[in-house]
Structure 1
Amino acid sequence: MADSRKSARRLALEESLAADPTDAFLRYGLAMQCLRDGEVEEGRRMLESLIADHPDDQVPAYQQLGQSYMDEGDADRARIWFTLGIARAQSVGDLKAAGEMQGFLELFG
């Protein structure tokens, strides 16, 4: 997507992130904005990078990755991310997130 076509929100996030590239909150926000803007592959890459850098602190990133694949009908990849996310959520004591992802897994039967 050319800069002229990027949303104002995305441009603001990119500018803030340029000032502090290690800010996990901004990285997550930018990844989510990419998903909303239809830049799904870029958003997924950003979420995967965030998980790689901060696996214990980014339980929502696992869920968002799973949902992005579920939205496209890719049940196999969605299952992978939800399963990884459930394990991570349980390991850090986030039972609410684990339960939400378990609910998504159950939609697949």
Structure 2
Amino acid sequence: MAGSEKSPRRQALEASLAADPTDTFLRYGLAMQCLRDGDVDEGRRMLEALIADHPDDQVAAYQQLGQSYMDEGDADHARAYFTRGIDTARARGDLKAANEMQGFLELLG
């Protein structure tokens, strides 16, 4: 976001997360809000931290990171996150997410 202004939604998520910093749902939600608000670096940092803390659970975080890099034309980073996400999704039996990320990989060529 421009300047230091934060959206009301982001402020609410930050307040909720301050009350329970271990809540993975809130952490993911705040990261996504940062991405929506245009604070891409912070959103990615949060998603990466979530994956670091829970590498076998965060299929959606891998996918969102891949998409954020794909949107900026960074195929190498996108490919890396989609590949890790596919492996994680398959291990969890989430074939829908694995297939979605496989489709993104195919778009990247």
The normalised TM-score by structure 2 is: 0.96
Q: For 2:41 and 2:57, how far apart are their aligned partners in 1?
A: 22
Pairwise CA distance, 1:75: 0.6
Match in the other structure for 2:79: 79
Q: State the secondary structure of the residue aligned to 1:56.
A: coil
Instruction: Could you tell me which runs of 5 or more consecutive residues in structure 2 were left unpaired when the two chains were aligned.
Output: none
Match in the other structure for 2:42: 42
Q: For 1:73 and 1:108, how far apart are their aligned partners in 2?
A: 9
Structure 1 residue 101 and structure 2 residue 90: aligned?
A: no
Match in the other structure for 1:69: 69
Match in the other structure for 2:59: 59
Q: Percent identity?
A: 79
Contact kept in structure 1, 2:28 and 2:46, CA below 8 Å: yes
Q: How many aligned residue pairs are there?
A: 107
Give per-residue Cα distances to partners, 1:8-39, cap 9 Å, x unaligned.
00000000000000000000000000000110
Moved more, 53-62 or 18-27: 53-62
Contact kept in structure 1, 2:66 and 2:78, CA below 8 Å: yes
Instruction: Could you tell me which runs of 5 or more consecutive residues in structure 1 were left unpaired when the two chains were aligned.
Output: none
Task: Output the amino acid matched with 1:21.
Answer: P
Contact kept in structure 1, 2:17 and 2:26, CA below 8 Å: yes
Structure 1 residue 26 and structure 2 residue 18: aligned?
A: no
Q: For 1:81 and 1:54, how far apart are their aligned partners in 2?
A: 15
Pairwise CA distance, 1:55: 1.4
Pairwise CA distance, 1:72: 0.3
**After the TM superposition, which parts of structure 1 deviate over 2 Å for at least 4 consecutive aligned residues?**
none
Q: For 2:96 and 2:56, how far apart are their aligned partners in 1?
A: 15
Q: For 1:27 and 1:12, how far apart are their aligned partners in 2?
A: 12
